[in-house]
């Protein structure tokens, strides 16, 4: 009797997750349509439609990638306060992109490769240092913080040098979709594919990792291998996004929390896709706000900055609410 009740309860939670994914997907599609067609001066104006569509698709893909990457990273490191930025991947990728611009000028074929190389370099440094000091969850975060500080400083320095020739480089520091274009499609597609392909491989092992490294091992999952896979896939995917639109830090941090709050569970089989959808919706809404409302008053402010302004209080409220309700 209780067994079937427990099963029903658990199944109902998974069903709730599936329903939420479906509802959010539908909401996202409606939002995409609305974002493209909002106050369109002339429906036949394909130039505007194309620009808007590119921009909307860019925000959605970036949000999806950063949301999934954030959920994977938080799960594999058992740390609810990390995202790709904390591990230094974002700043490493940005540094490499800026360096490539400085040396070769901006190139669509070089920038993503440089971003991956920079992101992976920063990641390798973080992993090497973290493994050297024990390979625990805390080691990864501490190593990432140090690497991040190094590459952030270098990126700011290079931005000043690059911005003299390429003014748009300043957008990379905060993250913006102003220059969204279909030329980024391939990079975005590869980025999304890496994370979507890693989802079925990582979802269950990450649940085991939440119980601790020893428990994960005695359940047949080597935590170091799955942590490495999760960190590398999230690192490469977010590096590619950085090469297109710069650093957007807050989405990867907040989306997994909202997802876990919605589903009242930490099961990665549901949290990862949900986090991707939440990230996509949040980033699209923010970019819509910047593009459709804020630009009338103060001009185009980088979306990355507005994400933090709106996201931070929301995130803090969420944390306080969860603690007061007994962490649920």
Partner 1 sequence: MISIRDLTVEYRGGHRGIEKVSIKIPTDRVTCIIGPNGAGKSTLLKAIAKIVPYNGYVYLDGLEVSSTPLKTVSRMVSYASQIHSHELLSLSVLEALLVSRYPVSKGFVEGAEDYRSVYNIAREMMIEHLLERRIAELSSGELQRVIIAMALAKDPRYLLFDELDAHVDVGVKAMLSKLIKKWSINKVVVFTTQDILFGVTNGDYFILLDRGRVVFTGNKKDLLSRLGIIEKVYHVKIARYKYSDLDLIVPIYTS
Q: How far is the CB of 123 from partner 1 (least distance, A)?
A: 22
Interaction between residue 140 and partner 1 (CB under 8 A): no
Interaction between residue 2 and partner 1 (CB under 8 A): yes
Task: Pick the binder of partner 1 from 150, 170, 266, 305 (CB under 8 A).
Answer: 266
Q: How far is CA 70 from CA 5, 154, 260, 301, in A?
A: 33, 24, 12, 24
Task: Pick the binder of partner 1 from 14, 16, 129, 292 (CB under 8 A).
Answer: 14
Report yes or no: 308 and 250 within 8 Å, Cβ to Cβ.
yes
Interaction between residue 220 and partner 1 (CB under 8 A): yes
Binding residues among 159-218 for partner 1 as defined by CB under 8 A: 200, 203-204, 207-208, 210-212, 214-215, 217-218
Interaction between residue 327 and partner 1 (CB under 8 A): yes
Interaction between residue 224 and partner 1 (CB under 8 A): no
CA atoms lying within 13 Å on the CB side of residue 130:
26
311-319, Cβ contacts within 8 angstroms, sequence gap of 24 or more? 311/250, 311/251, 311/253, 311/254, 311/282, 312/250, 314/254, 315/250, 315/253, 315/254, 315/257, 318/254, 318/257, 318/258, 318/261, 319/257
The single-letter DSSP state of residue 182 is G
Q: How far is CA 243 from the centre of its chain?
A: 13
Give, for 276, the enclosing helix (H) or strand (E).
Answer: helix 268-288
Of 53 and 261, which has the nearer Cβ to partner 1? Answer: 261
Task: Pick the binder of partner 1 from 267, 275, 277, 281 (CB under 8 A).
Answer: 267
Contacts to partner 1 by CB under 8 A: 2-4, 6-7, 9-10, 14, 74-75, 78-80, 134, 200, 203-204, 207-208, 210-212, 214-215, 217-222, 257, 260, 265-267, 269, 322, 326-328
């Amino acid at each position: 009797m209780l067994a079937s009740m427990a099963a029903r309860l658990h199944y109902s939670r998974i069903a709730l997750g599936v329903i939420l994914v479906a509802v959010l997907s539908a909401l996202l599609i409606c939002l995409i349509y609305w974002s493209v067609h909002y106050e369109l001066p002339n429906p036949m104006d394909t130039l505007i439609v194309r620009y808007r569509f590119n921009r909307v698709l860019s925000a959605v893909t970036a949000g999806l990638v950063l949301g999934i990457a954030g959920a994977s990273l938080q799960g594999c490191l058992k740390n609810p306060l990390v995202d790709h930025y904390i591990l230094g991947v974002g700043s490493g990728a940005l540094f490499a992109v800026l360096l490539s611009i400085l040396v070769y000028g901006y190139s669509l074929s070089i920038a993503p490769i440089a971003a991956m190389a920079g992101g992976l370099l920063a990641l390798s440094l973080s992993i090497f240092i973290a493994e050297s000091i024990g390979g625990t969850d805390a080691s990864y975060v501490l190593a990432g913080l140090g690497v991040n500080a190094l590459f952030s400083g270098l990126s700011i320095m290079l931005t000043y040098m690059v911005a003299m020739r390429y003014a748009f480089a300043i957008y990379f520091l905060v993250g913006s979709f102003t220059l969204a274009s279909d030329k980024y499609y391939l990079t975005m597609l590869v980025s999304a594919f890496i994370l979507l392909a890693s989802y079925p491989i990582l979802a269950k092992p990450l649940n085991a990792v939440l119980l601790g490294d020893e428990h994960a091992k005695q359940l047949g999952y080597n935590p170091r291998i799955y942590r490495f896979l999760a960190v590398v896939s999230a690192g490469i995917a977010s590096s590619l996004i950085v090469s297109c639109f710069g650093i957007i830090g807050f989405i990867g941090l907040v989306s997994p929390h909202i997802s876990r709050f919605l589903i009242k569970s930490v099961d990665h089989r549901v949290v990862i896709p949900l986090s991707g959808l939440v990230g996509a919706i949040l980033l699209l809404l923010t970019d819509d706000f910047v593009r459709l409302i804020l630009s009338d008053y103060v001009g185009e402010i980088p979306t990355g900055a507005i994400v933090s302004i709106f996201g931070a209080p929301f995130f803090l409220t969420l944390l306080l609410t969860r603690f007061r309700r007994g962490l649920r």
